[in-house]
Amino acid sequence: MSGALDEQPPGVELARLRAYLDTAVPGLVAGSLRAELIAGGRSNLTYRLTDGTCRWILRRPPLGHVLATAHDMSREFRVLSALASTAVPVPRPVHLCADPDLLGAPFYLMEQVDGMVLRARADAEALGFSGCETLAYQLVDVLAELHAVDIDGVGLSDFGRPDGYLRRQVVRWRKQLDASASREVAGMDELHARLAAAVPGSPRAVLLHGDYRLDNVLVDPKRLRINAVLDWEMATLGDPLADLGLFVVYSRRRADSDDLVTGGVTSAPGFPAVDDLISRYAERTGTDVANLDWYIALACFKLAVVLEGIHYRFSKGQTVGAGFERIGAMVPDLVVGGLAALAGHG
């Protein structure tokens, strides 16, 4: 969802915001504020904000949201603040307001970073063969930099509960499935059971992004550089291969239906084979990826559960927009892909 720059977009009362910022961050704002809602729906709301000279991004929970733990602005802000001095490219955090009374929910400001989000194959094809190759390897390198961050050194040692992380993931996504299941999906129960029966031991805990993929970064298409990693709402501490496994599912081209999951971005000419991306990560981090198939299967199960929930809402007439009718057909293929990974054919 997007709109033109506005003096009063939904969810942000600009006059109140300006008065608050003049006190909380004196000198930050020089003129009248205008804003544009650039992301909406049930995820966190994102706005472009400007005073005519400077530009920021404002993030807040969805309108009417009451469960703060699911859209915790302070967690996102804390991650950005911790990573600001590292090699991981992130927008510079500016200010966190934990008071829900000002805008109806806590929010934070960060600098606006230039760049584009590649969401479709045509976006990637415009970079050319070598451009896609360069960007793909850089995407892996940034993931490696993230997993190399000293969580104690940046003050994030208490950011999550890494012990038992994988087992909690298996349990959590099963509960999510049970809450939204509307049909029998062949192999879904088998995939869960096999995951639960073979939870691996984890290496040292690292900071996880939680949804690391190409369309969660801002790219400079001219310099072929990742300017910023976005959307840290799923960040936590845990097993680095959980991030890598999900990245593999978002990047692979095992079947034509994978393009429905990825938007076809990574099927553009020049993107390396997924095995090459895995090898690059292993070389950069020294991580043992011998058991990666289990994590790929977990990622398939997680995405299948997410999409099954969307399909359930679509079947109940609770979705708005185009394309939702295709979501249900993606779930069985993800289940097949997860079982194939566990069989060593992922």
Whether 67 and 107 share a structural domain: yes
- In the block, tokens 């793909």 appear at 136
Please choose, from the candidates 42, 33, 43, the residue with its C-alpha nearest in 3D space to the C-alpha of residue 76.
Answer: 43
CA 261, CA 243: separation in Å to the nearest integer? 16
State yes or no: pLDDT of 181 exceeds 90. Answer: no
The angle subtended at Cα 95 by Cα 91 and Cα 101, nearest 5°, is: 130
Whether 197 and 268 share a structural domain: yes
Please choose, from the candidates 271, 241, 216, 240, the residue with its C-alpha nearest in 3D space to the C-alpha of residue 76.
Answer: 216
Instruction: Tell me the average pLDDT across 131-157.
Output: 97
Is 5 within the bounds of a domain? no
CA 146, CA 171: separation in Å to the nearest integer? 26
What is the overall mean pLDDT for the chain? 89
Is 149 within the bounds of a domain? yes
Q: 3-class DSSP state for residue 6?
A: strand
Whether 139 and 279 share a structural domain: yes
State yes or no: pLDDT of 1 exceeds 70. Answer: no
Whether 84 and 216 share a structural domain: no
Instruction: Tell me the average pLDDT across 95-118.
Output: 94
State yes or no: pLDDT of 5 exceeds 80. Answer: no
State yes or no: pLDDT of 73 exceeds 80. Answer: yes
Boundary (domain end) residue, out of 57, 90, 111: 111
Whether 45 and 98 share a structural domain: yes
Residue 93: its H or E element = strand 93-97
* Domain coverage including residue 54: 14-111
pTM, two decimals, is 0.90
Give the number of other Cβ atoms within 10 Å of residue 122's Cβ.
Answer: 12
The end-to-end CA distance of the chain, in Å, is 35
Whether 130 and 69 share a structural domain: no
Instruction: Report the CATH number at residue 214.
Output: 3.90.1200.10
Whether 105 and 134 share a structural domain: no
Percent of all residues in the chain with a pLDDT value above 90, rounded to a whole number: 70
Q: Is residue 221 a contact partner of residue 126, using CB atoms and an 8 Å limit?
A: yes
Boundary (domain end) residue, out of 111, 139, 159: 111
Whether 101 and 159 share a structural domain: no
Boundary (domain end) residue, out of 85, 111, 137: 111
Q: How many domains does the chain have?
A: 2
pLDDT of residue 345: 76
Whether 179 and 206 share a structural domain: yes
Q: Give tens-digit pLDDT for 231-270.
A: 998 999 999 999 999 999 999 876 655 555 666 788 889 9
Whether 50 and 176 share a structural domain: no
Q: 3-class DSSP state for residue 183?
A: coil
Q: Give tens-digit pLDDT for 280-313.
A: 999 999 999 999 999 999 999 999 998 898 888 8
Give the number of other Cβ atoms within 10 Å of residue 78's Cβ.
Answer: 20
Instruction: Report the CATH number at residue 51.
Output: 3.30.200.20
Q: Is residue 3 a contact partner of residue 9, using CB atoms and an 8 Å limit?
A: yes
Please choose, from the candidates 44, 23, 97, the residue with its C-alpha nearest in 3D space to the C-alpha of residue 216.
Answer: 44
